[in-house]
Amino acid sequence: MARPTLTDTDGMPLSSWNRHGSTLTIVWGVTHDRDRAWRGLTDPSLVPRWLGEPLGWDLAVGGRVDVDHGSGAVSRSEVLRLEPPALLEMTWDFPDEPRSRVRVDLVHDDPARTCLTLEHVALRDDLVDDYRAGWMTHLSYFEAALDGTSLPRQQFWNLHASFAALSRPH
């Protein structure tokens, strides 16, 4: 499958999402260059502003990345591929869920924009819709973090509910 490019994003943050079986793909246009997007994705000082609190952050192939998402929900991941500043792929071990895999590709054809493609693979069928809204919410926080602002944490679940309602298949 060809990776989306900036011309595919039409200037909108959320360009598209797709579900193919147990794979969720979200394409998001970021209004920053790829190096800044990579830093936002991989710098443990920025991760709390959009994903959760890093408990362990060994960003190297085979390294462990553990993130506390609040209320005792900790994702434990192993880095599978790391190609700065373009690709991060890791396992995704979340409590009470089967292991899945997350891959983030960053492509930029324009100095001021980056096309972020997030692919979450091997999701259990009943989790895909919740992860779709969850990743859209996290990517909204991600973009705000890149802009140098922080969205209030107490708004996370309200925004999540909005994305869930808006992105339901009709």
Q: What is the CATH number of the domain that holds 78?
A: 3.30.530.20
Sign of CA dihedral 145, 117, 32, 137: negative
pLDDT tens figures, 48-78 = 999 999 999 999 999 999 999 998 899 999 9
CA-wise closest residue to 161 among 137, 140, 127:
137
Predicted TM-score of the model (pTM): 0.90
Q: Is residue 141 part of a domain?
A: yes
Q: Is residue 1 part of a domain?
A: no
Domain that holds residue 67: 6-166
Count of structural domains within the chain: 1
Q: Is residue 148 part of a domain?
A: yes
pLDDT tens figures, 128-138 = 999 999 999 99
Residues of the chain with pLDDT under 50: 1, 8-9
Using DSSP, state whether 99 is helix, strand or coil. Answer: coil
Q: Is residue 122 part of a domain?
A: yes
Contact between 14 and 135 under an 8 Å Cβ cutoff? The reply is no
Q: Concatenate the DSSP letters of all residues of 144-160 into one string.
A: HHHTT----GGGHHHHH
Q: Is residue 75 part of a domain?
A: yes
